[in-house]
Amino acid sequence: MIDTVKAQFEVLDDRFRRCNGDDRMERLHTGCRWTEGPAYFPAGRYLLFSDIPNERVLRWDETTGAVGVFRQPSGYANGHTVDRQGRLVSCEHGNRRVTRTEHDGSITVLADRVDGRRFNSPNDVVEHSDGSVWFTDPDYGISSDYEGNQGDSETGGCHVYRIDPVTGRARIVADDFDRPNGLAFSADERHIYIVDTPAKHIRRFDVGDDGTLSGGEVFGTCDAGVFDGVRVDSAGRLWAAAHDGLHCFDPDGTLIGKLRVPEVVSNLTFGGAKRNHLFITATGSVYALRVNFAGVRYP
């Protein structure tokens, strides 16, 4: 029998009343130490997600419901994304690098240093339509051996980076964060939302044609623990992982509702043929439900 829990959509603003879905959420898998980085592959109909402290990436098969090990050791991989060629891009805490898994299974290192200095522990990653790869680099993976390998920071802080699609060089695009975490582009890619976890807020930046950022005002604040991963839906709403579930923000920054989850949520992604299958990583489990909205389709 499939393990399910009641899906609780909490309306805080009338604009959220149109958001709903399955009456119950499926618990696809449990028994992990800390799940993160859900990434859905439509061609194979499977979901990859990290179990960071156990240094493994797991794979859930949509056609059979089976869960198995995709990669172990994983370099304490955290966040993932699927690029526009269907390849896995991963942030590896333990190896302090961002990698891409090619179609033949080989691994390409996209970046492991900035100006000759090793990163702290790349955390979450997104791709822009120009081919650039953007990622956050807090110090969670070097602060202890739990989610990586304890070590010293060489970068002088926790920053946000952009890997140039032509030169392959990584450069800092934001350096005024405590510990940057989840990040997501708006539908038109003119803005990027970036979480600063200890500050308990999300900031919104304007994205220039040359990949530079400006602005950076606070977009939303957390009233339940801290924020982690974020994603944007096709209506421009921002969904943020928090301690009591997913928080949904209208494009104007208003918190309009929540999807309650019985474990602390780390991240989310949209999958399925219509991008309306919502996958949620939360503490030791992975949840899923079909919803009546969809993840954004980027350029």
- Binding positions for substrate are 123
Q: Measure the N-to-C terminal CA separation of the chain; round to a whole number of Å.
A: 40
Computed over its alpha carbons, how large is the radius of gyration of the chain? Answer: 18
Residues annotated within the binding site are 36, 123, 181, 228
Q: Catalytic residue numbers?
A: 228
Where do we find the tokens 């526009």? 84
Amino acid at 237: R
* Structure token digits, residue 254: 């208003």
At residue 101's C-alpha, the angle toward residues 85 and 80, to 5°, is: 80
Question: Annotated binding residues for a divalent metal cation, as ranges?
Answer: 36, 181, 228
Tokens matching residue 219: 């977009």
Identify the CA nearest to 263 among candidates 101, 76, 30, 40. Answer: 30
11-20 in b/e form (b: 16+ CB < 10 A) is eeeebbeebb
